[in-house]
A and B are shown apart, each in its own frame.
Chain A
Amino acid sequence: MKTGLINHMLLICQFELKRLFATRKGWLYLATYIIVWYFILFYPIRYAADLLDRQRSSAHAGSFFEFLGFGSLLDWAIPAFGVYWQFALIFFPIMSVVIAADQTCSDRQRGTLRFLALRVSRDALFFGRYFSYLVIQFLLILLTLSATFLLVIFRDVSLFSVAINNASSILINLFLVILPFTAMMAALSVTVKSARQATVWAVLIWSFLAGIISLLSSYLPVLGMLKVLIPGYQLSQLAQLSEWEALQIAYIPVLQSLILLAIGRWIMQRQAL
């Protein structure tokens, strides 16, 4: 009856998915998410995409969008995906901080983690929960991306293959974007007592760490490199890249995630349950 780390992680992941798709609280989250994205898709994204389509033929379009800081929108083969990409780069990191805040903290406070820790290793618990929240967010991204995809091909079915290509690049890139945010929340969740505390700490880290590093780097310039460790450091660069180009800086979120997960695991191994 020996079961391994992978099997334990899969079981934990399965149970967390059940939390989203088979509990009343999960349905409430899903309904809210769908409503929010309904408005984002049918108003900002659709109208912005229409505007881009119309402006594309204009000689001044490039300079107009460059002036607004959205010049890269014109690089997208399908404007709707370009607009989606810009929205998603803001929306999903924030969603990640909120949704992944309670990976282990409330279970630890309630003592539920003790029942689990008697049966699985702390690694299985920590990484099992981390991967669960990644899968959940992947599915949520897939849901909105599919809706955008349908919106595009309903208007012009000839864009089917380009849309598949665009959607795939966004799916992979957004998944990479949320990796370090989810890892940061995993590390915070093993440290703090509640999801609210984890969110507050995430906002503080996000907001002030860059400032502190900038201050320190004015004395010792080499410390400026530490900014690369802040989740979301690459987001402004990503906003200027389109489709598969964004993978050029995929190493940044992967590196951030590995470091944050190592920190989280270190805390989890030493944490009293």
Chain B
Amino acid sequence: MSEPIIQCQSVSHSYSGKLALKQVSFDITPGEPIGLVGPNGAGKTTLLSILCGFLKPSSGSVSIFGYKPGDSRLCGRISALPQDAWFDPAFTIGEQLVLLARLQGFGTDQAKQEAERVLDAVALKDSWSAKPDTLSHGMAKRVAIAQALIGSPELILLDEPTAGLDPVNTRNIRSIIMEQAKYSTFFISSHDLPELGRVCQKVLLLENGVMSPMQHNVAETEGSTGFITLQMEACAADELMKALQELKGVIQVSNPQKNEFLVEYLPEKAPQMDIEILTCLAKCHWHYRQLTRGKSLEEKLFFTD
């Protein structure tokens, strides 16, 4: 197993006496993108700010690649998309990205090429000469993501990367993360659970400043039982639940939301439960929208008994 790149031990932080993070401890190893979820005010941005070195924790220790956050030896190895950070309106996007690349150690010509590359990656090459205040919210967000990609750092921390983006740009950002994930480890804080479910293999849950002791694995089945999440077109819920309950191997069927059903079953008794369910739906002329193996991320994180 590889060495952790982020090690947080008993990290606490308070704002004017109010505790925002309480004894948060976790390790992150390099590899697949890792998500950080939690409700508003859970302390996600505080945690990311501490990891970036923008904020000093009130107590506890943080180590990134063996150094304290903010250590100059981390320059070029870690980058971030901070929340609510905007570029200087006096200079063009190109000028500012070149400066950031130069500060990261690139020579004059290399810095220009790198700035062009990252701007191209977020599909904003035409905005090279634009001033930040002429960009829309979504474009400004993409430029901020572009700066995080400069120099392909080993660790990239993203705070709400898709907040305020339209579906096309969300998809674009997702593909950038997937592509860059070959070279960098991403730690992504987001409210967008379906999006996190698509990108991240592991998710950490932070609630009221407390980190959940479990790292939730998105793909993993839970213990000896399996789950299938079924989204239906408008249908009679009682009849459908009754029909599903009668299938061999089904333990229980629940209806967490309108037209959404969660089937818990025993995989050793019904290894092809998905096929069984589809056959049952076809026989009864019910139309489904989506069938997913496992629980949705939302269900896993917030509604597990």
Contact = CB atoms under 8 A, between A and B. Distances in A.
Interface of A: 1-3, 5, 8, 11-12, 15, 18-19, 23, 25, 107, 110-112, 114-122, 124, 270, 272-273
Nearest to A3: B105
Give the dominant DSSP class at A's interface. helix
B91 interface: yes
B224 to A, nearest CB: 45
Given A1-B76, A3-B105, A272 B86 contact: no
Contact of A119 (B85, B91, B103): B103
Contacts of A111: 82, 84-86
Contact of A118 (B52, B55, B86, B95): B52
Contacts of B91: 18-19, 23
Interface in B140-156: 144, 147, 151
B133 to A, nearest CB: 11
B99 A11 contact: yes
B90 A116 contact: no
A120 B72 contact: yes
Nearest to A111: B85
B187 to A, nearest CB: 14
Given A1-B104, A23-B90, A272-B49, 7 more contacts: A111-B82, A112-B85, A114-B54, A118-B79, A119-B75, A121-B70, A270-B56
Interface in B47-104: 49, 52-56, 70, 72, 75-76, 78-80, 82, 84-88, 90-91, 95-96, 99-100, 102-104
| B interface: dominant SS | loop
Interface size class of B (residues with CB under 8 A): 20 to 34
B106 interface: yes
Interface of B: 49, 52-56, 70, 72, 75-76, 78-80, 82, 84-88, 90-91, 95-96, 99-100, 102-106, 144, 147, 151
A3 to B, nearest CB: 5
A112 B87 contact: yes
Among B72, B76, B102, the most chain A Cβ lie within 10 Å of the Cβ of: B72
Contacts of A122: 70
A273 B80 CA distance: 14
23 contacts: A2-B75, A3-B75, A8-B103, A15-B99, A23-B90, A25-B90, A107-B88, A110-B88, A114-B52, A114-B82, A115-B85, A115-B87, A115-B96, A115-B147, A116-B103, A117-B54, A118-B52, A118-B78, A119-B103, A122-B70, A272-B49, A272-B56, A273-B55
